[in-house]
Structure 1
Amino acid sequence: MSSDTGVLRADPTVERTRAHQRAFGWYDWANSAYVTTTGTVLISPYLTALARADACPDLPSGAVCDERLSVLGVPIAVGSLAPYTITAATIISALVLLFVGAIADRHPRPTWLLGGLAWAGAIAASLMFFLQGDNWELGVALVIIANLCLGASQVVYDALLIRVAEPDDRDKVSSRAWALGYLGGGILLAVNLGAMQFYDQIGLSYEMAIRLSLLSAGLWWGIFTFIPVFGLRKIRGTTAAPVDRSAGVVGGTFAQLGSTFRELRRYPQTLLFLLAYLFFNDGIQTVISSASLYGTEALGFATSQMIITILLVQFIAFGGALLFGFVAKFLGAKKTVLVGIVLWTAVVTFAYFVPRGAFGIWLACAVGIGLVMGGTQALSRSLYSQLVPPGKESEFFSFYQVMERGTSWFGTLAFGLVYQLTGDYRPAILVTIAFFVVGGILLTRVRVREGIAQAGNAQPTIV
């Protein structure tokens, strides 16, 4: 390889060992602590409580705050702040993640890039410990930074699946990694549940127990990221075409993005899958990000009850991810994901009818979510990996992350708007059904084997 141009490649026999596959899965374990404890359970209701303390400081506990917050001069309902914050984070991600993918494909050591992005997000997550009183503005900023870093690191991480697993192994490797993530997130959540249930006995205030839980998620994310970074350290960057080093990182990145956008028309099945994923994943992400808010505000459950709920979901999802990976061996990833989408629609419909305060019925709903959540996400990742052209793994997975987080603001925005218009979270949760229906219909139209051939990849036995 010359000093000016060249192709960076790594020996595939070195990368596709079981040791590399095990190291790969640990990043799901690392970031799931933040996704579960902070993103799913604590930050939405806690951010709402901080905003309520600012807008209605003298309001009795449990009363509705009718005041509006002023965010850049725009009046925002207190109950809409959390979903709008997630919306802002995902819109910003949409503008950034494509560049992360292009840079990652040009980076000689993608695992170091993964570590840098992950540790930046972990620092922002850890700083949430300092959220207290009514400083919701700091909370909004930290959520945006942490979510952006999470999505950016996931671009690099997801692309590594192609480097560590053969086509016939990707459903299994991806499903096991997702399962490991749910197990890790569940373990930390169980610890945090204990702290929030018995805070008085261990000498803490309830607010301090929440703040320490936020801190623990950030530390967990940062510390366990060392395992995949060092375990995959021998993996080098790869690019499908010679790279003009004289263009520099910024110029070369823009040039590569321009080339990729021009080439997209060569991969119509990949594009159709991304469009389908945009819709059904919007539904998934909206349910995940809004479940805690729906449970506390619409159904009247305490934060500790929501932690029990998500804890149940985590451990059920551990088994669900492995189950979906097993089923995919016989049905193929596409059909198994379609089954998952149908089950998601049924679960959301069931959640709409859960009576206020009926915690047992709510837990039954949580079991349904757990069964389908991990499996649909894990198999979507492995299915998409078959449709990615060699050498542009990170760049194409940046499109995937744009659909996963960068455009999932459609769902959270719709959820927030319906609440602002109706003042009720029940009709807001129903809006997610439309995303599942449209995404499922589009996915049925994807001709996977044709897309694999268009991308120039080897055909797996079952798709």
Structure 2
Amino acid sequence: MYDWANSAYATTVLAAVLPIFYSSVAADGLPKNTAASYLAYTHAIGMALVALLSPLLGAVSDLSGKKTSLLTCFSLLGMAATAGFALVERGDWLIASTLLVLSTIGFAGSNSFYDSMLPDLVPSEKRDEISAKGYAAGYVGGGLLLAVNLVMIQMPSVLGLSDSLAGTRLAFISVGLWWLVFALPIMRRVPNLPRQSKENLNAAGYMRAGVQRIAGTYRDIRRYPQLFKLIAAFWFYNDGINTIILMATIYGATIGIGTSDLILALLITQFVGFPSTLLLGKAAGRLGAKRTLIISLLVYVLIVALGFGMTKAVHFYALAILVGLVQGGSQSISRAMLSDLMPAHRTGELFGFVNITSKFSSIFGPFVFGLVGQLTGSQRLGILSLILFFGLGIAILLKVNVEQGKKDSLVKTEPGSYGLKSDTDGAEGFVS
């Protein structure tokens, strides 16, 4: 249900409506290439801030057991900032950028706690399937609200709205409300974990303990070499995937594709993504997660190459279908593979590590896209640069030994090495 809830932000805000709104309203008066570059830089700033916060909060979530509470706080921040886009006026690009940074922190920060719940709640042999079902639910939930938002924007009179801009503002509010309503089940019904630390720490104590665990994470990651290689591959290919998600719509608008075509194509992506994500989840069970993931990344290389030569709306529709075939599957398989290679009692901390490193690496995709577009005056060269990110990701992924990584994850590190007394039995009982 949480995938269903927050995917509305990913589809309506990040992928479909906000890029067009930012370019035509918030950045009104700026050249189109400059607006696209400013949006890319804003995404980079938001990711950098998430990267700084995530590992510390991940370690604290493990020690305190308060994953659900932290997820709730970050989700509420994201919901409020998303609804705030409705107040942005023409030329208010700085306000829009600030709200985007805050909503990015809320969205990505809550996802780090959500992802780390997978090994807490699901046995290893079912993680590919359950992770895929979560992403599939996200495609349906995000797609349904995007369809409603499309009516708000393209046919505002049907809902008694004055114009498309009023429909766009209402769309932002609807995303915040949708996210809130369907996040209530995880907020209210999924309990916090047992506390790992036996010490009765206050907030400052948890922060100090979190810093100690982060230092331990960087020091001890070498004990899990296959996990580290998978994370390194994830840095690159996930940067490429995220950049496509964030910049596809404004890229299409820059080369002259109409707003209705852009949003309708992204709606198609959601409904192609639902069955495709489930099928890729099943394929991972039969062919192996690593092999299935590599195939999906090769499709992304094709998408980038075709995107470079895109000129018509029909081309954007074709690429939207291709993205729908592999986007959810590649992300759900990645989440499941990462959880399989992590020791069960350190998932919050290690997903925090994945978050900080992947968010720092994800700065480069949008930044390179924006910089190349600004320097050359052509966003086509920016999109072509993403082939490098996918190529490096695939090359490193080929070196990952998944079975050895699973064995490595069963070797426990000593909790005492972080200067803490630990109650890992409670956490493991929750897992089993």
Give your verdict on TM over 0.5. yes
Question: 1:147, 1:251 → 2: CA distance?
Answer: 26
- Normalised to the residue count of structure 1, the TM-score between the two structures is 0.85
- CA deviations 1:408-450 (Å, max 9, x no partner) are 1110011001101111111111111110010000000011111
CA contact (8 A) 1:154 1:401 kept: no
Alignment partner, residue 69 of structure 1: none
By how many angstroms is 1:52 displaced?
Answer: 3.8
Further displaced range: 98-107 or 281-290: 98-107
SS of the residue 1:203 aligns to? coil
**Structure 2, unaligned runs of 5 or more:** 413-432
Q: Does 1:283 align with 2:240?
A: yes
By how many angstroms is 1:281 displaced?
Answer: 0.5
Alignment partner, residue 168 of structure 1: 125
Q: Does 1:322 align with 2:278?
A: yes
Alignment partner, residue 414 of structure 1: 368
Question: 1:249, 1:402 → 2: CA distance?
Answer: 19
Q: Does 1:125 align with 2:85?
A: no
By how many angstroms is 1:203 displaced?
Answer: 3.1
CA contact (8 A) 1:30 1:225 kept: yes
Question: 2:313, 2:124 → 1: CA distance?
Answer: 43
By how many angstroms is 1:155 displaced?
Answer: 1.1
- Superposed, which structure 2 residues align to 1:346-385 within 5 Å? 346-355=302-311, 358-385=312-339
Alignment partner, residue 331 of structure 1: 287
By how many angstroms is 1:192 displaced?
Answer: 0.5
Question: 2:100, 2:281 → 1: CA distance?
Answer: 32
By how many angstroms is 1:229 displaced?
Answer: 1.7
Alignment partner, residue 38 of structure 1: 13
Question: 1:213, 1:387 → 2: CA distance?
Answer: 39
Alignment partner, residue 228 of structure 2: 271
Instruction: Supply the AA of the counterpart residue of 1:446.
Output: V
**Structure 1, unaligned runs of 5 or more:** 1-25, 56-63, 67-76, 459-463
Give the alignment's Cα RMSD to 1 decimal. 1.8
Instruction: Supply the AA of the counterpart residue of 1:34.
Output: Y
- Normalised to the residue count of structure 2, the TM-score between the two structures is 0.91
Pick aligned residue for 1:388 from 342, 350, 355: 342
By how many angstroms is 1:107 displaced?
Answer: 2.3
Alignment partner, residue 209 of structure 1: 167
By how many angstroms is 1:457 displaced?
Answer: 7.1
Taking only the aligned residue pairs, the percentage that are identical comes to: 32
Instruction: Supply the AA of the counterpart residue of 2:397.
Output: L
By how many angstroms is 1:403 displaced?
Answer: 4.2
- CA deviations 1:305-346 (Å, max 9, x no partner) are 211011000111111110101111111111110010111101
Instruction: Supply the AA of the counterpart residue of 2:359.
Output: R
Q: How many equivalent residue pairs?
A: 410
CA contact (8 A) 1:387 1:457 kept: no
- CA deviations 1:56-114 (Å, max 9, x no partner) are xxxxxxxx568xxxxxxxxxx33311111101111111111111111111223321221
CA contact (8 A) 1:280 1:435 kept: yes
By how many angstroms is 1:157 displaced?
Answer: 0.5
Alignment partner, residue 231 of structure 1: 189
Q: Does 1:261 align with 2:181?
A: no
Structure number having the greater helix percentage: 2
Question: 2:206, 2:65 → 1: CA distance?
Answer: 12
Alignment partner, residue 405 of structure 2: 451
Alignment partner, residue 424 of structure 2: none
- CA deviations 1:12-42 (Å, max 9, x no partner) are xxxxxxxxxxxxxx11111100111001112
Further displaced range: 308-317 or 197-206: 197-206
SS of the residue 1:236 aligns to? coil
Question: 1:237, 1:309 → 2: CA distance?
Answer: 45
Alignment partner, residue 112 of structure 1: 69
Alignment partner, residue 416 of structure 2: none
